[in-house]
Amino acid sequence: MAAQIKALQLRIASTKNIGKITKSMKMVAASKLRGDQMRLEAGLPFGEALLRCVVPEESRPAFGRKPTKDEEEAHSLNFNTDAGKTLFVGVTSDKGLCGGVNSSISKAIKAGVKAVEDEGKEGKILTYGEKCRALLQRDYGKNLTYTIDENWKDPSNFAKTSALAERIVAQEQDQAYVFYNRFINSIQYTTTRIPLPNFGGPTLELPNGTENTEGEPCGPAQLRDYECEDECREECMQNLYEFATAGILHMACLDNATAEQSSRMAAMDNATNNANDMIQSLELKRNRARQAAITTELIEIISGASALDDA
């Protein structure tokens, strides 16, 4: 009985230490969340403007609100399987203890790769963050082309995302999808994907699908009515494609970092509450064990006294 009480006391002490750690991690995540929110508020209008320029309206995410069920299904299930080579870019974290923010992105990427491979097309994966690579390595290791990690020690900036955009452009894909977690509020986020059609490639498409000729409109439908000065349209579209890729990635990184901190704060809050519940349960077991030990000792004393009286 004494060994059981001691074991319960050790478990209570260790659980209290875990609760202190998770409570501290929650406070750190809450303090970082405010800074990430400020950076997101400053960078979100820039990313939204680029999305309106290069991404069709039906493929844009719903900003500032949770998407409807139909919108969520359309963004998560519909992939363009006509492209010859599709690149899936996953923006995740390098650290864990943040809920399901990383696993949700890996599941979405797996669904996309399976969709294009079922059509006999090529699907490649580029990960920005160690956690996504670890989750995809086992089943889709052959599809991984590039992994970038150790980039979240400092807040994300446009220089970092420009370097990532260079890696994406260097893949020379026909279609790219960027997966990230979009921040809604401190307790909500949603996994989002943004399509990046390669309108800046060497072969540009016209509205009617014919081959490009000098001076003809090409690129996104939203920009076909605009003229280009001092350079050919193909070079202008290539520059715009690279700039838009970097800008949209910058917005995705800011959004994902904010969602990660909010999810970590919620996860550590839940862990702290679970630790407190476990402590209460262990203390109840310890008190019962102590009461049982005291009762046993009293019974032994009374039995001994009765035996002496009978003698």
CA 188 vs CA 155, 184, 260: distances in Å: 21, 5, 11
Helices of type H across the chain: 2-54, 69-77, 101-118, 130-140, 158-170, 233-310
Who wins on pLDDT, 80 or 87?
Answer: 87
Q: Any idea what the Cα angle at residue 132 is, between residues 17 and 147, rounded to 5°?
A: 120
The string of pLDDT tens digits covering residues 267-282 is 999 999 999 999 999 9
Query: Euclidean distance between the first and final Cα of the chain, in Å?
Result: 30
**Residue 214 pLDDT > 60, yes or no?**
no
The string of pLDDT tens digits covering residues 138-195 is 888 888 888 888 778 888 888 888 888 888 888 877 788 899 998 888 888 888 888 8
Other residues' Cβ atoms within 10 Å of the Cβ of residue 152: 19
pLDDT value of position 230 = 61
List Cβ neighbours of 64 (8 Å cut-off, separation of 6 or more): 184
Average model confidence (pLDDT) across the chain: 81
The string of pLDDT tens digits covering residues 104-128 is 899 989 888 888 888 888 888 998 8
The Cα 206–Cα 138 span in angstroms is: 40
Share of the chain above pLDDT 90, in %: 17
pLDDT value of position 15 = 92
The answer to whether 88 touches 113, Cβ cutoff 8 Å, is yes
Output Rg (C-alpha) for the chain, integer angstroms.
28
Residue 218's pLDDT band, with cuts at 50, 70 and 90, is low
pLDDT value of position 157 = 86
Given the candidates 3.40.640.10, 3.40.190.10, 3.40.1380.10, 2.170.150.20, the CATH classification of the domain at 43-201+215-268 is 3.40.1380.10
The domain ranges of the chain are: 43-201+215-268
